[in-house]
Amino acid sequence: MAAYDLEEQEQLAEIKAWWKQNGNLVTGIVVAASVGILAWQGWNWYQNKQATQASSVYGVLQRAVIEKDTQKTKSAAGELVEKFGGSAYAPLGALTAAKALHDAGDLKSAKAQLTWAAENGTNEIRDVARLRLAAVLFDEKAYDEALKVLSANHSSGFDGRFSDLRGDILAAQGKKSEAAEAYKAVLAKLADSTKNAKDQNSMQARELNAPYREMVQQKLDSLGEVK
């Protein structure tokens, strides 16, 4: 028994010595890990809170649009951008507000919203914002500005729409040859999408694309003979 006690004492002595040498390091690691966990939990809580608040403001924006309250629409859209610019609701709200403001005749505010969404949105929202902004500039006959917006990188799924609008702008500028090339690019894109469709969906794809293809073809034909 005495021998066992002595062995225990030796082990305790070794543990005390090890702890004296490494205790601060171990404590630091434990504290750092605890702080990290708390920070992560706090960040998740903050993100969820931000998303909930952004959703609420977006709801206000939607109601303002339905009620055609221009001032409240601009206010809600501004709040989304200023306070919740990093949320998914901000670029979506900018698109929603832009359409309502455009319909209300406030083109300056509509362009501001579209510009923000085009610069801060992601994927489809960003590309839709660029298309709409370019369309507004086209209506204002700001052709060079519109073409600059369309020259930005975009998802391949929007190639046809970008080329179509580019063709419209070039045609308005009297650049028939360049416009024709843009329209031909749209037709080629439509042909590829139909060709690459799976068998069971190919007929549906042709039916959906037919009216749009016909419209683009009419635009191309209206240019007449192009050298």
CATH number, position 39: 1.25.40.10
142 and 179 belong to one structural domain: no
Least confident range of 38-42, 116-120, 178-182:
38-42
Structural domain includes residue 173 = yes
Q: Hey, CA dihedral for 142, 148, 153, 159, is it positive or negative?
A: positive
- Does the pLDDT at position 174 exceed 90? yes
102 and 204 belong to one structural domain: no
For residues 168 and 135, what is the distance between their CA atoms, to the nearest angstrom? 10
Structural domain includes residue 226 = yes
Segment 86-101 shows an average pLDDT of 92
Instruction: Please say whether the beta carbons of 61 and 96 come within 8 A.
Output: yes
Share of the chain above pLDDT 70, in %: 70
- Does the pLDDT at position 195 exceed 70? no
Angstrom CA distances, 91 to 116, 150, 151, stand at: 7, 18, 20
The 10 Å Cβ neighbour count of residue 94 is 28
Amino acid in position 160: G
Among the three residues 149, 169, 187, which one is the final residue of a domain in this structure? 149
For residues 169 and 128, what is the distance between their CA atoms, to the nearest angstrom? 17
